[in-house]
Chains A and B, each alone.
Chain A
Amino acid sequence: MTEKTSPLRVGLFVTCLVDLMRPSVGFGALHLLARIGPSLDVLVPDQQTCCGQPAYNSGDLVSARTLAQNVIETFEGFDRVVVPSGSCAGMIVKHYPNLFAIEDPWRARADSLAQRTWELTSFLAEHLDLNDTGAAFAGTATYHDSCAGLRELGVKHQPRRLLATVEGLTLNELADSESCCGFGGLFSLKYPDVSGAIVDQKAQAVENTNSDLLVGGDLGCLMNVAGKLKRRGSKMRVFHIAEVLANLTDACGIGEDQDA
C-alpha cells in the first residue's frame, strides 16, 4: 500500500456478546487497528446487532436470514469488516452465502461480505502483518483455540504470532488445545450438564498449565471457561486476546470480582 492510496475503510463488527458483556474487547480491537495508522479508516456502524448465529444453529433460517441481511446492509460500504470472534466471523464467511439461493440477489451481497470479512487476529497478523503491538505482560499465558475460528477460518498461528509480540509474556501451550470447551452457544443452555462436564475437562487442562492468564479469541468460549474456573476456585485470570494485545490486562479479567 502506497502513501497516496485512500485509506482502507474498515468496519468493526463488535458482535452482540462483546457489545453486551465486555465492551473492552471492542475498544481493544479499535486500539489495535488504530496502531496501524492513517492507512485504515475504522468505524463502528451503529446499525449492527447480532450475526444471527443462534438462530442459524437452531434451524431458524428465516430469522437467520433477516439478521444476516441487516449485517450485510450495514457493512456494504466497507472495504474490510473485522470481527473479534472466530465464530461470528465464521458465520459470515462460511455460512451467510449458504443462507441465500444462487438466484437470490442477496447471495451476491452475502458472497461479497464473506470475501471482505476477517477475524481480528487474522486481519492483524496476516492481512496487515502487524509485528509490534506495544503490549507488555510480565507473566505466563495459555491459549484456547476456539473451534469455529480454528476449523472454519484456520485461526491458529495468528494469535500466537501476535502474543509473541507482547513483552514479557511467555506462552504455555494447552494440552489438547483443539478440543471444544463445551460452549456451543445455546447448547450450553440446553444441555447444561453435558456442557458443564466438557468445560470441566477444559478448565482442568487450563489449570494444569499453571499460567497467569487464559487467553482466547471468542468471548462465548471465554465466558464459559472463566465461569468454570471460577466455580472450581481457580485464581487464573481470563482475557480476550484483543485486551491482552491492547494492554488492558490491568482491568478485571472475565468473571473477576472488582475488589479481587
Chain B
Amino acid sequence: MSNPIPPGHEPQCHDFQAGAKKALDNKVLQALLERTLKSGFQQRRLNAKARLPEYDQLRDQARDLKNHVLDNLDVYLERFEAQLTKAGGHVHWAKDAAHAREIILKICQDAGAKTVSKGKSMIGEEIALNDFLDANGVVPIETDLGEYIIQLRHELPSHIIAPAFHLSKEQVGETFKEHHTHLDQDRDLSEPSVLLGEARAELRDKFLRADVGITGANILIAETGTAMIVTNEGNGDLTQSLPPVHIALTSIEKVVPTLEDATLILRLLARTATGQEQTVYNTFFTGPKRQGDLDGPEAFHVVLLDNGRTDLLGSEFRDVLRCIRCGACINHCPVYAVTSGHAYGWVYPGPIGAVLSPHFVGLDEAHLLPSASTLCGRCEEVCPVHIPLPDLLRHWRTRGFAAKKGGKMQRLGLALWAQLARRPGLYHAVMALGVNGLKLMGGKRGAFKSLLGAGGWTKTRDLPTPQGGTFQARYRKGER
C-alpha cells in the first residue's frame, strides 16, 4: 500500500500527540489559527453560500456527478487519454508514487532539464517530488508563494490550499531574510504586499530559466482532453506556458465527463474553499502549443497517479474519492483549529487527511489520526460533495480495532464495559457501588480537581462528581 518514500519524508503520523502538544504550546500559532479560521475561511464560505441560493443544489449535483464518474472511471479516463493524445499531448499512467517520480524524472532528463518551476500540487507533495528531483540533479522551484515559503523552510504544507497557513507574516519575513541573503538585511518586510513583491522578484528570474514546468491539475475534462488548474497568484499560468515542457501531475479521480461538469465543480470549489465566486486564474490546457499559438509549451504531459486509489474504489472508503480538495473540512475542524496541520504528520491534514493518510502510509503509522476526532460532523456538514467523513473515520477505527491498534487499556476497558452492560442486574449493582464510592470521595465538592484513573481529563479541566445514587436505584426506590 505505501510506497517507498524518499528519506526525510517519513510520515510522522504516529507522533500526533507530541505534534499536537507542540502546536498547543505555540502561542503565535494559536493566535493565528483563531484569527484565520473563524472570521476568515468559515465566514467567507458562509457569505459566498448566502450569495448563491442554489449552492446546496449544486452540492447534490456535484455528489451525483462524482459518483457517476467513479462508476465509470475507466471510460472517462480512456476518453481523456484519447482526446489529449489527439491534441498532441502525452498521458502517463503511474501506478504508485515511485512510478510517478520516475516518469517525471525521465521527462525532465529527456528535456535536459536543470531546473523545473512548479505550481502548487498536493500530488507533488503526496509523492514527495521535490526532494527526489533535487537528489537526481534537477532543481525544483516552487512558484506558489505558500509552497515557496515552505520549500525554503523544508516543511510539509500545513493546509491543502494554504501550505504556509501555520506561519505569521513576521515568520515569513524572517525566512526571507535568512534565504535572500543578497538583499539588505535591514529592509522592512512588515507588509504582506512587500513579502509578495520580494517573492515575485526572486521567482520571476527562475521562471524564465526553467526547462520544465510542473503543475497540478484540479480537473481533467474527458470530452476535450483538457487539464485545468485554479490559482490565485497566476503562477500556474507562467509555470505551464513559459518552459518548453509542461507536466501536469494529477490523480485519476479528478476526471469529469464534460466542460459543463467542470464548471459545476469550479462554482463549488472557489466558494467552499476561499469564499470567492471564482478563483482568480482558471487555466485550461489542451495539448502543447499549436501552430499559430503565440505561446505555450512545446510538449505537454499529463501524469495520472493511481497510488492505491483504485483500491479505495472497491472499499468502504470509496466516497472519499469524490473529494475536490477544497479544504473546507479542515477549516471547520475543531481539532485542526488547535493542532494545525503538522501534527497530522503527513501531507494531508484535518478530517480529509485523517481519512487519506492511513490509506497512503498504512494503518500502523497513522492509526491515531482517525481516532483524533470528536466526530462532531461539521466536516461532513460543510463538504461540498457530501463525503461522510465521520463514517469514514469510524471505518478506519473499526479496521484499527480489528488490527489491535490503540491502547491495550482502552480495549480492555471496552471489553469489560460491554460484558457488564449486557448483564443489567450486575451492571446496576456494580454501578451503584462505584457511584456511591465516587460520591463519598467527592464529598460536598461538585467536581474533582484531579482523579486517578480519569485519564488526562483532570489535567485540563475539573471532573464533575456524581450527584449521588444511580438513577435506577433511586427510581426503583420510588423517587420521582
- With A14-B471, A67-B418, A227-B464 in contact, is A193–B459 under 8 Å at CB? yes
Q: How large is the interface on B (under 10, 10 to 19, 20 to 34, 35 or more residues)?
A: 35 or more
Complex CA distance for A186 and B406, rounded to whole angstroms: 12
Closest to B464 in A: A255
> B424-463: contact bitstring with A at CB < 8 Å (1 yes, 0 no)?
1001100100110000000011110000001111011111
| B contact face: mostly helix, strand, loop, or mixed | helix
B111 at the interface (CB under 8 A from A): no
Q: How large is the interface on A (under 10, 10 to 19, 20 to 34, 35 or more residues)?
A: 35 or more
CB-based contact A190/B398 at 8 Å = no
Complex CA distance for A192 and B428, rounded to whole angstroms: 29
**Given the complex, which residues of A lie within 8 Å of B399, measured CB to CB?**
59
A128 at the interface (CB under 8 A from B): no
* Interface pick from A50-58, A113-121, A129-137, A207-215: A50-58
CB-based contact B381/A151 at 8 Å = yes
Partner of A180, one of B21, B38, B378, B410: B378
CB-based contact A66/B422 at 8 Å = yes
CB-based contact B378/A20 at 8 Å = no
* Interface pick from B121-129, B164-172, B334-342: B334-342
A104 at the interface (CB under 8 A from B): no
CB-based contact A184/B394 at 8 Å = no
Complex CA distance for A55 and B282, rounded to whole angstroms: 47
CB-based contact B461/A224 at 8 Å = yes
Closest to A188 in B: B457
Partner of B422, one of A67, A199, A223: A67
Closest to A63 in B: B418
**Given the complex, which residues of A lie within 8 Å of B109, measured CB to CB?**
none
CB-based contact B459/A190 at 8 Å = no
CB-based contact B466/A22 at 8 Å = yes
CB-based contact B38/A55 at 8 Å = no
Closest to A252 in B: B446
Q: A20-B466, A66-B422, A182-B334 are in contact. List 12 more A-B contacts (CB 8 A).
A: A18-B471, A27-B474, A46-B424, A55-B414, A58-B371, A60-B418, A61-B398, A182-B374, A189-B457, A193-B21, A198-B338, A227-B461
Q: List, sorted by A's number, 25 A–B pairs whose CB atoms are closer than 8 Å.
A: A19-B431, A20-B431, A23-B469, A23-B470, A34-B480, A59-B396, A63-B415, A147-B375, A184-B373, A184-B375, A190-B407, A192-B460, A193-B456, A196-B460, A197-B460, A200-B460, A226-B447, A226-B464, A228-B460, A228-B461, A230-B462, A230-B464, A231-B462, A254-B446, A258-B445
Q: Which residues of A contact B (CB under 8 A)?
A: 14, 16, 18-24, 26-27, 30-31, 34, 44, 46-50, 52, 54-63, 66-67, 70, 147-148, 151-152, 176, 178-180, 182-184, 186-201, 223-224, 226-228, 230-231, 252-260
The 7 A-B pairs with the shortest beta carbon distances in the complex, nearest first, are: A196-B460, A192-B456, A184-B374, A59-B401, A189-B455, A59-B397, A63-B418
